[in-house]
């Protein structure tokens, strides 16, 4: 499907029409949102179901595969969805190309760095000696 073909002949001559990209970004936002519907609900439900939220209980919860695997997915997909969403906000309000590029790059670094940090912490809990 070539998005650019949707431009009218007059639009093509004037160099107007769609940006010819963005469809995948749009769809990825929706698909990750569906995953987060499940994972976010799982997180809230888990926090409410856990008998206590002290260090020992939380460590044991995230040490078990039933806690560690959904949490890993939540971190990866959550940071990806946050990055995609924040890009839309930046693109909507920051039009100057240099500033737009700088902000989007900053967001990318923050998302990848933050996600790596959270995953590292989770890995230590999951693969550590236990509570």
Partner 1 sequence: MAATKSRPLSPHLGVYRWGPAMLVSILHRVTGAGLSIVGLAVLTWWLLAVTAGPDAYASFTRVATSPVGLIVLVGLTWAFFQHLLSGIRHLVMDTGAGFDLGVNRLFATLTIAGSMFLTALAWYILMGVGR
- Work out whether 77 is an interface residue with partner 1 (CB under 8 A): no
- Work out whether 106 is an interface residue with partner 1 (CB under 8 A): no
With CB under 8 A as the contact rule, the residue among 2, 55, 65, 96 that binds partner 1 is: 55
**Helix ranges (DSSP H) in the chain:** 9-13, 23-49, 55-63, 65-93, 97-127
Q: What are phi and psi of 108, to 5 degrees?
A: -60, -45
- Distance of alpha carbon 13 from alpha carbon 84, whole angstroms: 32
CB of 98 to partner 1, least distance (A): 18
119, 3, 5, 4: which is closest to 62 by C-alpha? Answer: 119
- Work out whether 112 is an interface residue with partner 1 (CB under 8 A): no
- Work out whether 125 is an interface residue with partner 1 (CB under 8 A): yes
- Work out whether 41 is an interface residue with partner 1 (CB under 8 A): yes
CB of 4 to partner 1, least distance (A): 12
């Amino acid at each position: 499907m070539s998005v650019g073909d949707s431009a009218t002949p007059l639009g093509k001559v004037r160099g107007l029409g769609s940006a010819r990209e963005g469809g995948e970004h749009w769809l990825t936002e929706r698909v990750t949102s569906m995953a987060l519907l499940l994972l976010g609900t799982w997180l809230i439900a888990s926090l409410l179901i856990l008998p206590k939220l002290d260090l020992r209980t939380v460590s044991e919860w995230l040490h078990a595969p039933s806690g560690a695997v959904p949490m890993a997915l939540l971190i990866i997909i959550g940071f990806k969805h946050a990055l995609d969403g924040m890009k839309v906000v930046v693109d909507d309000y920051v039009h100057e190309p240099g500033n737009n590029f700088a902000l989007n790059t900053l967001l990318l670094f923050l998302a990848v760095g933050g996600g790596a940090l959270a995953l590292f912490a989770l890995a230590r809990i999951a693969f550590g000696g236990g509570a």
